[in-house]
């Protein structure tokens, strides 16, 4: 097989070929490194790449070793917010540019135990703040469908690497849409699991901060399910969790009759660039093709209250994790303005401010639970804007709506993030300029497997991922 024949396959297809002896881990590694050499200089998605000779030797060793799991021999680059032993974890910050990880984070250790070979990292914005992947350590990640535009973030490097077939699957993390926005802009699937299903590191407080989660990205929901099953499972050192029914075994399901609620623009609360809502409506027709029942839904909760709760809890969480960097004179001047804004804001809140924000969160969770008594899933667009010019920090307006914060332009992801629901970005087509569109489909807490069943049926009916970035035309 040539490079494209190998790398165009979905991950589980590659795994089956390796298991059957039709493809070696060494062949896969060589194809991967060839693609990275050819394409990565244009998109800057993979960073801290290990020595190719070492990687080929490691793949050759995998071919001679007992099979570890379904990811046996898979090249994997880890998002540069997570620790992989022996590699730098810069978090996109000059403060940590030379920090080398002494051990794997939980999610990385689980993927390595399933057979993955860690080849490097994927690029991310500084501390993962902002859905635009640029930082002073490695620079910006370009969108492979238009190299003059942003790949999104904070899992922008992971999404771009997947789109370019430089990785078969990828890990990411999502606080405010970071597994969904870049997936939408790179025409791949990104899945935010139910909060607690995939553990983060047991560092700092383990009870209060329930916003961010790790999760999988791939070019099909079936591959998402396989990687989710690897990443999932409780950590005895942490108090929270979520039922982790395996997602892969039942992925090929009959979804006829399932009810889907379309939230459109939340009753006009969310501004969208021209074409996004119209293209979303066109894409939704595929649910009728697979036998689902689609209905439009009125706004179930006040959008501004959700935003108020979110911005309070987010700034409080960011401040709790990074305030020491602001207080240290040696590191303060090396933080980007958005990080300083979040920290200073978070430090100003009282305990009762946080309580009021969490009460709003509680009430929205109850309202959403009532909706899921009627619907199997709800849908919103994944983004409010098309990929914007790479030199922008963020859009300052959407149409006539001025953005009052650096992240207001992606407010549409917040209803999911605030209450920790499972959510899948689904590639939903392209505009006239060839820029990708995504829909975010979310469900009841713990309904991860059922949501991925819907996603797999959608994928089988649409297969939007088959459209590859223009830069692969000669690859």
At 152-172, the pLDDT tens digits run 999 999 999 999 999 999 999
pLDDT of residue 2: 87
Per-residue confidence band for 4, with pLDDT thresholds at 50, 70 and 90: confident
Is residue 139 over pLDDT 80?
yes
Q: Residue 407 burial (CB < 10 Å; 0-12/13-18/19+)? A: buried
Distance of alpha carbon 421 from alpha carbon 8, whole angstroms = 31
With bands split at pLDDT 50, 70 and 90, how would you rate the model's confidence at 242? confident
- CATH number of the domain bearing residue 29: 3.90.1300.10
Q: Which domain holds residue 203?
A: 3-472
Q: What percent of the chain has pLDDT over 90?
A: 97
- 100-135 core/surface letters (b: 16 or more CB in 10 A; e: else): ebeebbbbbebbbebbbbbbbbbbbbbbbbbbbbbb
Nearest to 159 by CA among 226, 90, 77: 77
Tens of pLDDT, residues 221-241: 999 999 999 999 999 999 998
Give the pLDDT of residue 312: 98
Ramachandran angles phi, psi of 61, nearest 5° = -65, -40
Could you give the CA distance from residue 98 to residue 445 in angstroms, rounded to a whole number? 39
3-state secondary structure of 46: strand
**1 pLDDT band (50/70/90 cuts)?**
confident
- Is it the case that residue 475 has pLDDT exceeding 90? no
Q: What's the full length of the chain, in residues?
A: 475
User: Which residues, other chains included, contact 92 with Cβ-Cβ below 8 Å and sequence gap of 6+?
Assistant: 80, 123, 124, 125, 126, 127, 128, 135, 136, 137, 138
User: Quick one: pLDDT band at residue 412, thresholds 50, 70, 90?
Assistant: very high
Q: Is the pLDDT of residue 335 over 80?
A: yes
- The predicted model gives 348-365 an average pLDDT of 98
pLDDT in tens, 119-128: 999 999 999 9
Q: What is the pLDDT of residue 276?
A: 98
Residue 224 is inside which H or E element, if any? helix 221-231
Rounded to 5°, the CA angle 91-92-98 comes to: 75
User: How many domains would you assign to the chain?
Assistant: 1
The two structure tokens encoding residue 341: 């804004």
**pLDDT tens digits for range 249-284:** 999 999 999 999 999 999 999 999 999 999 999 999
């Amino acid at each position: 097989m040539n490079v494209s024949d190998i790398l165009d396959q979905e991950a589980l297809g590659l795994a089956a070929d390796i298991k059957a002896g039709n493809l070696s881990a060494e062949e896969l590694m060589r194809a991967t490194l060839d693609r990275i050499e050819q394409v990565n200089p244009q998109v800057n998605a993979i960073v801290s790449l290990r020595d190719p000779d070492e990687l080929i030797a490691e793949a050759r060793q995998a071919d001679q070793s007992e099979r570890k799991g379904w990811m046996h021999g898979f090249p994997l680059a880890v998002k540069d917010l997570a620790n992989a032993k022996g590699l730098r974890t810069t978090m996109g910050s000059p403060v940590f540019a030379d920090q080398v990880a002494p051990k794997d984070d939980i999610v990385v250790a689980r993927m390595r135990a399933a057979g993955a070979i860690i080849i490097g990292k994927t690029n991310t914005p500084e501390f993962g703040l902002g859905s635009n992947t640029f930082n002073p350590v490695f620079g910006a990640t370009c969108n492979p469908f238009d190299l003059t535009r942003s790949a999104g973030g904070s899992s922008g490097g992971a999404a771009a690497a997947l789109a370019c077939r430089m990785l078969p699957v990828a890990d990411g993390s999502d606080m405010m849409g970071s597994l969904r926005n870049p997936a939408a802009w790179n025409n791949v699937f990104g899945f935010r699991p139910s909060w607690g299903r995939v553990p983060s590191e047991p560092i700092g407080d383990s009870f209060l901060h329930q916003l961010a989660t790790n999760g999988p990205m791939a070019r099909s929901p079936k591959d998402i399910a396989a990687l989710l099953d690897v990443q999932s499972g409780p950590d005895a050192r942490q108090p929270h969790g979520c039922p982790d029914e395996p997602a892969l075994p039942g992925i090929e399901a009959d979804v006829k009759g399932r009810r889907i609620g379309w939230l459109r623009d939340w009753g006009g609360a969310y501004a969208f660039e021209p074409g996004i809502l119209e293209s979303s409506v066109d894409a939704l027709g595929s649910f009728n093709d697979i036998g689902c029942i689609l209905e439009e839904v009125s706004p179930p909760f006040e959008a501004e209250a959700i935003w108020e709760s979110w911005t309070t809890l987010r700034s409080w969480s960011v401040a709790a994790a990074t305030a020491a960097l602001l207080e240290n004179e040696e590191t303060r001047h090396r933080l980007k303005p958005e990080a300083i804004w979040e920290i200073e804001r978070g430090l100003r809140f009282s305990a009762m401010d946080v309580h009021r924000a969490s009460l709003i969160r509680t009430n929205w969770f109850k309202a959403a639970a009532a909706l899921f008594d009627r619907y199997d899933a709800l849908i919103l667009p994944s983004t409010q804007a098309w990929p914007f010019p790479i030199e922008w920090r963020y859009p300052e307006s959407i149409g006539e709506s001025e953005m009052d914060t650096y992240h207001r332009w992606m407010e549409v992801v917040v209803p999911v993030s605030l209450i920790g629901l499972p959510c899948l970005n689904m590639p939903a087509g392209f505009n006239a300029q060839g820029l990708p569109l995504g829909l975010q489909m979310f469900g009841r807490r713990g309904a991860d497997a059922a949501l991925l069943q819907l996603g797999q049926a959608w994928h089988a009916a649409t297969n939007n991922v088959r459209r590859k970035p223009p830069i692969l035309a000669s690859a």
